[in-house]
A = this chain, B = another copy of it.
Amino acid sequence: MAKHETPNPTQSEGVRTLSPEDAWERARTMVVGRLAFSSGERLELFPINYLVDRGTVLFRTAPGTKLAASMGRLKVAFEVDGYEADVREAWSVVIHGVLEPVLNTEEIVDAVALPLFPWQSGEKAFFVRIVPSEITGRQFLVADPGHWASQFMGGPRASGE
């Protein structure tokens, strides 16, 4: 069960394991992450706009696959990553947990007041939480910062030669 926790925080190849506290701290700095779950035989994978709230990952959604998954309390994985240009290190945080719809009126009122903007414009009337069972994080040196930076600029890949 604890096989994903490394007692030694320093691993080979310039990879460091982040503490759960550090992993949460990083998750709080971002606004878009990727949510994965199995819906029947199919693996679903979406970018979502999220907010860390009450020890969970909160997001808004319209009726559809994600809302249905939350009603079924599906197991999910959620990943957030970022790049720290000053140290040329990237990090990746993965949260495992279950989806849960926010159905309590008071909680919905609180959630509406949060600075949570859906990435995609349009009506997203429902709130869903990822209730975490595990959080893991890694930080690692980036092999080619130029290539990573180009990703974050949304620019095209440089041609091969």
Q: Which A residues form the contact surface with B (CB < 8 A)?
A: 12-15, 28-32, 34, 36-38, 42-47, 49, 62, 75-79, 81-85, 90, 92, 94, 96, 114-115, 117-123, 140-144, 147-148, 150-158, 160-161
Residues B47 and A77 in contact, CB atoms below 8 Å apart: no
Number of copies: 2
Known contacts A44-B77, A45-B77, A148-B32; A90 and B157 CB within 8 A of each other: no
Residue of B whose beta carbon sits closest to that of A75? B43
A142 touches which of B75, B83, B119, B140 (Cβ 8 Å): B119
- Beta-carbon contact of B141 and A96 below 8 Å: no
Most buried by B among A30, A45, A114, A153: A45
| A31:B77 contact, CB within 8 angstroms | no
A85 touches B154 (CB 8 A): yes
